[in-house]
Structure 1
Amino acid sequence: MSIAIRNISKHFGAFHALDDVSIDIPSGELVALLGPSGCGKTTLLRIIAGLEFADSGRILLEGDDASGRHVRERNVGFVFQHYALFRHMTVFENVAFGLRVKPRKYRPNENEIRKRVSRLLELVQLGWLADRYPSQLSGGQRQRIALARALAVEPKVLLLDEPFGALDAKVRKELRRWLRQLHDEIHVTSVFVTHDQEEALEVSDSIVVMNKGRVEQIGSPDQVYDHPATPFVASFLGSVNLFHGRVEDGHLHVGEHALAVGAGHAATEQAVGFVRPHEFDLLPANAPGTGLPGKILRIIAIGPLAQVELARPNGELLEVAILRDTLSVLGLREGDEVSLRPRNIRVFQNNERLAA
């Protein structure tokens, strides 16, 4: 089922939670609503579900206006962060609950319910836990049961609100991979809310980046990461180093140093360059060529990578990510003077991209 969000606005008193939001979600896609706390992503999810109603705008489900429909009439499944399982019911009974409370004329017979629940428990790889109670399950298992319960009523749309937020990092990563595989099997249109950039980049077909009740950018994970449309998107998705300066003759002038940004950038007196930690070449200070001078303050080994913290002569701190093997070959250590050479710079002026 496709979802068309048209000019949705929502206030809570003086707080503007959503401001004229419009998004198209194609049928069968897994879409992430990504942004900081308070940006409006959960409010938008609840409006899609029918748990909240917008002050203005429309929600179209498969082209039909569902804005005034009750949640029961929208055929959506909802998965919350804190599972919301019934403690007094077994895993099987939890998954069957939505089917058993359907109006009689829509309710499957008991034999069909048992078949459907058993099939779902196998789908989420937890059939062997059917007779257990929620208190006997791990956090990851509870969340998979909550997802099976949402799928039991065969929703046209699946909505997930920070589904893995209450879990530890290792379990979150496992469940992200599992959710992606599950979605590839069932292809139900899914929208999930997260503030975790890695989660959104890893799981979704497309990402809606939100900030202060508005949409900053919509695109594939590669598009929003590699081609951010605004400074907010560039800084929110992953770590960045900022360079303030002016643009002239294809260079960003930062103090007495000029960094090449390529042709097509209009001259401007005030601009900001964004460089991700892995987009630097890090060389000894006496290496041929020009670059930004810096001093290594700290080297942190993280698996095959080294996270290098540096200070520019003016005291500004920078972060560079480099392979540990490369760092070893260069022979660089804490306290060494180095030359930093950005391979890619994204330049913005007054919150607008100067060039693609």
Structure 2
Amino acid sequence: MSIAVQQLHKRFGNFTALDNVSLEFPNGELTALLGPSGCGKTTLLRIIAGLEYADSGQVLLDGEDASNRHVRERQVGFVFQHYALFKHMTIFENIAFGLRVKPRHLRPSEAEIKDKVHKLLELVQLDWLADRYPPQLSGGQRQRIALARALAVEPRVLLLDEPFGALDAKVRKELRRWLRRLHDELHVTSIFVTHDQEEALEVADQIVVMNHGKVEQVGAPNEVYQHPATPFVYGFLGNVNLIHGRVHEGILDADGVPFDAPGHAETRDAQGTAYVRPHELEIERFQHGVSGLVVRLRRLHGIGPLAQLELVREDNGQLVEAMISSERVQHLNLQVGDVLVVKPRRLHVFVDSTASAVS
């Protein structure tokens, strides 16, 4: 099923949750709604599901306006963060529940229900837990059962609201890989809400980055990460260093240190900011005549093949984070207190007056 929303607007009192949002969700793909708490992503998901109604705008399912359809008529499967399993029912009964409450003329026979439930349990790799109760399962197992229950009614759309938010980091990582494999097998049009950047980048076919009820950027994970459209997207998707300065005819002057600002050759004397990720910085020992930001090493933390460096600019005291290989640390024989020079291999420059990005 293809899903689209057009000019959705939703307010709660004086708070604008969605500000004229228009989006398309490709048929058979997994889309992540990504953004900070309060950005509108869960409200958007609930409006698509029919659990909330927009003040204005449309929800289109396969091109037809479904804005006023009841949730039962939308053929949507919904998975919440906190499982919402019935504790007094066995796992088998939880999954069968949606099938057993269908109208009589649509309800499968008991034999068909039994067969379907066991197939779903095999699909989520938990067929040996059919007779257990939810409190007897781990958090990761309960979430997989919640997903099986959502799939039991053969939804045309699968909606997941922070599906792994209540789980620890190791289980989250295992489950998101599992969800990606499951989606590749089923190809159900799916939308999931998350505030976890790594989760969205690893699992989704398409990412929608939201902020204050608006869409900041839509694109494939690599496109959104490598070519952020706005300063917000750049800052939200991973750690980033900011270098402030004046942009003039293709050059960003950061307190006397020049950096190329390609794409801004026509810019004249404008305030700008360069965004540089920690792994995009080169580190050298300080020597007179070497171009770059002069910094002092405040902290060095090795993590396997990589090392994180906390650096402080000598000119203004600003913190700079860098990530380099452990071999490079050894080659430079770095010690806390060393004076170094950092140079970006790549940076994005946003000019304040235009808020446009270049790489």
The TM-score, its normalising length taken from structure 1, stands at 0.98
Q: 1:291 and 2:292 equivalent? A: yes
Q: 1:281 and 2:301 equivalent? A: no
> Does the CA-based 8 Å contact 1:247-1:265 persist in structure 2?
no
Mapping of 1:293-332 within 5 angstroms? 293-313=294-314, 314-332=316-334
> Does the CA-based 8 Å contact 1:265-1:355 persist in structure 2?
no
Mapping of 1:110-149 within 5 angstroms? 110-149=110-149
Letter in 1 for 2:86: F
Q: Tell me the CA shift for residue 354 of structure 1.
A: 4.7
Partner residue, 1:355: 358
Letter in 1 for 2:31: V
> Does the CA-based 8 Å contact 2:302-2:308 persist in structure 1?
yes
**Bigger shift: residues 219-228 or 257-266:** 257-266
Letter in 2 for 1:223: E
Q: Tell me the CA shift for residue 250 of structure 1.
A: 2.3
C-alpha separation between the residues in 1 aligned to 2:163 and 2:31?
Answer: 13
Q: 1:56 and 2:52 equivalent? A: no
C-alpha separation between the residues in 1 aligned to 2:357 and 2:145?
Answer: 48
C-alpha separation between the residues in 2 aligned to 1:185 and 1:27?
Answer: 14
Letter in 1 for 2:45: L
Partner residue, 2:188: 188
Mapping of 1:259-270 within 5 angstroms? 259-262=259-262, 264-267=264-267, 268-270=269-271
Partner residue, 1:249: 249
> Does the CA-based 8 Å contact 1:28-1:189 persist in structure 2?
yes
- Cα gap change, 1:86/1:287 in structure 2, threshold over 3 Å: closer, same or farther? farther
Partner residue, 2:272: 271
- Deviations along 1:88-114, one digit per CA (max 9) or x if unpaired, are 011111111100000111111111111
Letter in 2 for 1:352: A
**Bigger shift: residues 318-327 or 181-190:** 318-327
Q: Secondary structure at the match of 1:207?
A: strand
Q: Secondary structure at the match of 1:329?
A: helix
- Deviations along 1:236-264, one digit per CA (max 9) or x if unpaired, are 01010001111123221100111123354
Letter in 2 for 1:240: V
> Does the CA-based 8 Å contact 1:261-1:344 persist in structure 2?
no
C-alpha separation between the residues in 2 aligned to 1:262 and 1:273?
Answer: 11
C-alpha separation between the residues in 2 aligned to 1:117 and 1:294?
Answer: 61
Unmatched runs of 5 consecutive residues or more in structure 2 = none
Identity percentage over the alignment? 64
> Does the CA-based 8 Å contact 2:100-2:107 persist in structure 1?
yes
C-alpha separation between the residues in 1 aligned to 2:56 and 2:304?
Answer: 50
Letter in 2 for 1:293: V
- Cα gap change, 1:258/1:326 in structure 2, threshold over 3 Å: closer, same or farther? same
Tell me how many residue pairs correspond in the alignment.
356
- RMSD over aligned CA atoms reads 1.2
Q: Structure 1 runs of 4+ off > 4 angstroms?
A: none
C-alpha separation between the residues in 2 aligned to 1:162 and 1:95?
Answer: 20
C-alpha separation between the residues in 2 aligned to 1:272 and 1:128?
Answer: 56
Partner residue, 2:338: 336
Q: Secondary structure at the match of 2:135?
A: helix
C-alpha separation between the residues in 2 aligned to 1:28 and 1:201?
Answer: 18
Letter in 2 for 1:304: P
- Deviations along 1:201-253, one digit per CA (max 9) or x if unpaired, are 00000100000000000001111111000010010010100011111232211
Q: Secondary structure at the match of 2:328?
A: helix
Partner residue, 1:74: 74
Q: 1:36 and 2:13 equivalent? A: no
